[in-house]
Structure 1
Amino acid sequence: MKVSFIGLGTMGFPMAGHLSKAGHSVVVYNRSVEKAQLWCDSFVGSYADTPADAAQDADIVLTCVGNDNDLKAVYLGQNGAFQQAKPGTLFIDHTTASAEVAKELHQAANEKGYDFMDAPVSGGQAGAENGVLTVMIGGEPAHLEKAKPVLDSYAKATSLMGDVGQGQVAKMVNQILIAGVLSGLSEGIRFAQQAGLDIATLVDTLKHGAAGSWQLENRGETMANDEFDFGFAIEWMHKDLGLCLAQAEKMGLSLPLTLEVDEKYQQLIKAGRGRQDTSVLIKALD
């Protein structure tokens, strides 16, 4: 397929690379031209000067940018992707954003004769680099069927969660769960250290039982060793948890643990740890 990928950050760069390796004809766009040129030096493909130029001849356009405002700029701006795409183009957004902006872009796409799905991902930098992301999709089954050959280039699981916007809501659940697990893991590791347990042995034992989790297996020892450089910065987690809390408020729900974790992340950001991994939550106990 002719595929365009807009946004070559920590996630987008390797995701677009997997598309190229899978044999798709790929055009990329990035706000920083140097990053787009670097991608073209690393993979087979070309880069465009604007989102509109990137989308012009594509069958499928994928986006992975920072937040709601970035999305509106790359889709709806003067040189946005909706300006020059051909009718019937399928747009797939991998950004972790609000359900509201997904619905707004879906409506704008329909008015122009395009299709749209929100499809946030989970798996972090390692998942993107290894092509094993989990994709949570809001959209039509027929659109997912069209997208599968593309998504399979970098995903190990794709699930349709419901209408447009529901992919983002599912991602919010993902982030709420991670916040809770990391909160418990932080206290557990500090407790184990104080008790004199060997952390490597502890993690290797507990990962097979009811306390097992991806976070325990992959971050337990590194948290104990004060190692926090793994790609997904707490600045982004703070943004994501803000989306969760705002959505919960709209639904009349209280998320006390999520709020508590988010407040700890804000304290860590103020302490200069904003670019460190989410597992740095353990330092809030010190």
Structure 2
Amino acid sequence: MRAAFIGLGVMGFPMAGHLQSAGHQVTVYNRSAAKADAWVERYGGCTAPTPAEAAQGADVVMTCVGNDHDVREVVLGVHGALLAMSAGSVLVDHTTASAALARELAAASAASGVGFLDAPVSGGQQGAEGGRLSIMVGGEEATYERIKPVLAAYGKAITRIGPVGSGQLTKMVNQICLAGLTQALAEALAFVEHAGLDGSIVLQAISQGAAQSWMMDHRAGTMLDDKFDFGFAVNWMRKDLSICLDTARSLGASLPVTAVVDQFFADLQRDGGGRRDITSLIRRLRGSDVATPAVD
């Protein structure tokens, strides 16, 4: 397909690369033109100076930017992608954003004869680079079936949850789980250190039992080594948890643990750790003031 990809951050850059490598004709847009030029140099394809020009003639347009405001700007703004999209094309938003925004974009897209899917992803930078992301999709089934083979360029698990907004709500479920798991692992490993145990041996003993998780398998070692200059930054998790907590309030749902862990992340931000990986939660429990490189 002719595809446009808008937003070349740590996730979007490799995702757009997988699209191009899979044989699609990809045009990219990024707020920083230098990054778009670097993408073209690495993968081929084309770059455009505005989202609208990137979307011109595209069968499918993907967005992967920062927050609701950023999505509105690149889709609905003065030079937004939707202005140039043709009837019958499809807009796919990979940004972790609100379900309300997804419904807003779906309505605006429908008015132009454009299909829409909200499709946030999970798997982090490592998953994006390896083409192994989990993609949670909301939207009409026919639109989903048409675009699913395209998403397979970077998705290993692609699931339609339900109507528009369902993808974003499911990503909130993912982030609620992730926040709790990260704090629990931080507490467990801090306990290991206070008890004078060998962390690697403890992990060997428990990693095949009921406590096993992806976080334990992939992040426990770096937590013990006090390494946080990679991964999913605290600032982004706070943005995501803000969406979760706002949505929970609107639904009348209670998220007491999530609310507490969100404030633990706020502590890390106040201490200058907003760009470190979320597993730096363990530093609160250590009382560590050792400077750690920030995530770019």
Same fold (TM over 0.5): yes
Q: Which residue of 2 aligns with 1:102?
A: 102
Report the counterpart of residue 55 of structure 1 in structure 2: 55
CA–CA distance in structure 1, aligned partners of residues 149 and 4 of structure 2: 14
- Structure 1: gaps spanning 5 or more residues: none
Tell me the SS of whatever aligns to 1:65.
coil
Runs of 4+ in 1 over 3 A off after TM superposition: none
Shift of 1:271: 0.5
What runs of 5+ residues in structure 2 fail to find an aligned partner? 288-296
Letter in 2 for 1:215: M
SS of equivalent to 2:171: helix
Looking at structure 2, the residues matched to 284 and 255 of structure 1 have their Cα atoms a distance apart, in angstroms, of: 21
Measured against aligned partners, the alpha-carbon deviations of 1:201-245 in whole angstroms (never above 9, x if no partner) come to 222332211000010111111111111122310000000000000
Q: Deviations over 1:113-154 (max 9, x none)?
A: 100000000000000000000000000111111112211100
8 A contact 1:204–1:217 mirrored in 2: no
Q: State how far apart, in whole Å, the 1-side matches of 2:71 and 2:31 are.
A: 12
The answer as to 2:133 corresponding to 1:133 is yes
Q: Which residue of 1 aligns with 2:27?
A: 27
Tell me the equivalent position of 2:291: none
SS in 1 for 2:174: helix
SS at match of 2:82: coil
Does the residue aligned with 2:201 lie in a helix, a strand or coil?
A: helix
Equivalent residue number for residue 142 of structure 1: 142
AA at the equivalent of 2:230: F
1:206 corresponds in structure 2 to 206
Distance apart, 1:77 and its partner CA: 0.4
3-state SS, counterpart of residue 136 of structure 1 = strand
- Partner secondary structure for residue 143 of structure 1: helix
Aligned partner of 2:170 in structure 1 is 170
Q: CA RMSD in A?
A: 0.8
Contact 1:60/1:91 (CA < 8 Å) preserved in 2?
Answer: yes
Residue 89 of structure 2 corresponds to residue 89 of structure 1: yes
- Tell me the CA shift for residue 16 of structure 1: 0.3
Deviations along 1:179-206, whole A, 9 cap, x unmatched?
1111111110011112222212222332
In the alignment, which residue of structure 2 is the partner of 1:2?
2
Distance 1:146 1:207 in 2: 40
Contact 1:118 1:167 in 2 (8 A): yes
Where does residue 259 of structure 2 map in the other structure?
259
- Equivalent position of 1:218 in the other structure: 218
Match of 2:154 in 1: 154
What is the DSSP-based 3-state SS (H/G/I as helix, E as strand, rest coil) of the residue aligned with 2:135? strand
Give the distance between the partners of 1:150 and 1:20, measured in 2 at CA: 11
**Partners in 1 of 2:230 and 2:127 — Cα distance?**
12
Question: Shift of the alpha carbon at 1:272?
Answer: 0.5
- Of 170-179 and 139-148, the range deviating more from structure 2: 139-148
In the alignment, what sits opposite 2:17?
17
Aligned residue number for residue 274 of structure 2: 274
Distance 2:95 2:212 in 1: 28
Does the residue aligned with 1:117 lie in a helix, a strand or coil?
strand
SS in structure 2 of the partner of residue 274 of structure 1:
coil
Take 2:200 and 2:156, find their aligned partners in 1: how far apart are those partners?
28
1:124 touches 1:231 (CA, 8 Å); kept in 2? Answer: yes
Q: Between Structure 1 and Structure 2, how many residues are aligned? A: 286
Tell me which residue corresponds to 1:45: 45
Kept after mapping to 2: 8 A contact 1:10/1:231: no
SS at match of 1:158: strand
Which letter maps to 1:277? D
- Cα distance in 1 between the residues matched to 2:74 and 2:262: 28
TM-score by length of 1: 0.98
In structure 1, distance between residues paired with 2:45 and 2:215: 35
Identity %: 52
